[in-house]
């Protein structure tokens, strides 16, 4: 039995790692995640600066939590590309990339309040003009804590 429910509102941030412009790396981007939990399965939505700038609905979240390990996939409503000097651009006719988040449950050393910390990655496949297949993976880090109910 878990000591608390994952259902509820979570506040967090993610950072961009290697593969992104240097000015974007390590700058925290805030998000709010709304999760529902059924046994070890998680579902929910996520709002962040990308959804606010480009979409009229949040990203979706599906995943699992077991043995202090969390894993979930976040998907925007359609594909989003980060461009070197132009920010992000949406490709509305293309399916969203899967953003795979993994992390572990931790407890604040003083308050003992639970939080998650981990990494995320996106692997994109593409084919060049000669028909050769390539994969490109970018990474980042993330953390989130559950907001208290009022």
- In this structure, is residue 47 part of a structural domain? yes
- In this structure, is residue 31 part of a structural domain? yes
With a threshold of 0.75, does the pTM exceed it? Answer: yes
Please give the Cα distance from 116 to 100 (Å, whole number).
Answer: 14
Q: Which domain holds residue 141?
A: 8-146
- In this structure, is residue 141 part of a structural domain? yes
Q: Provide the domain count of the chain.
A: 1
Please give the Cα distance from 5 to 36 (Å, whole number).
Answer: 9
Burial of 12 (0-12, 13-18, 19+ CB in 10 A): buried
Please give the Cα distance from 145 to 150 (Å, whole number).
Answer: 15
Model pLDDT for residues 17-38, shown as the tens digit of each residue: 887 778 788 889 999 999 999 9
- In this structure, is residue 44 part of a structural domain? yes
- 35: domain CATH number is 2.40.128.30
Model pLDDT for residues 25-78, shown as the tens digit of each residue: 888 999 999 999 998 899 999 999 999 999 999 999 999 999 999 999 999 999
- In this structure, is residue 3 part of a structural domain? no
Burial of 19 (0-12, 13-18, 19+ CB in 10 A): middle
The widest CA-to-CA distance across the chain, in whole angstroms, is 58
């Amino acid at each position: 039995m878990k000591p608390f429910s994952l259902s509820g509102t979570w506040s967090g941030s993610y950072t961009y790692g290697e593969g992104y412009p240097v000015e974007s790396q390590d700058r925290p981007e805030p998000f709010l995640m709304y999760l529902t939990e059924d046994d070890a399965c998680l579902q929910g939505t996520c709002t962040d600066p990308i959804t606010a700038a480009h979409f009229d609905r949040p990203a979706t979240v599906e995943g699992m939590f077991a043995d202090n390990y969390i894993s979930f996939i976040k998907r925007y409503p359609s594909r989003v590309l980060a461009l070197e000097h132009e920010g992000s651009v949406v490709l509305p006719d293309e399916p969203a990339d899967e953003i795979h988040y993994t992390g572990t449950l931790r407890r604040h050393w003083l308050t003992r309040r639970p939080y998650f910390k981990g990494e995320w990655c996106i692997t994109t496949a593409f084919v060049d003009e000669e028909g050769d297949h390539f994969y490109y993976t970018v990474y980042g880090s993330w953390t989130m804590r559950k907001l208290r109910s009022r």
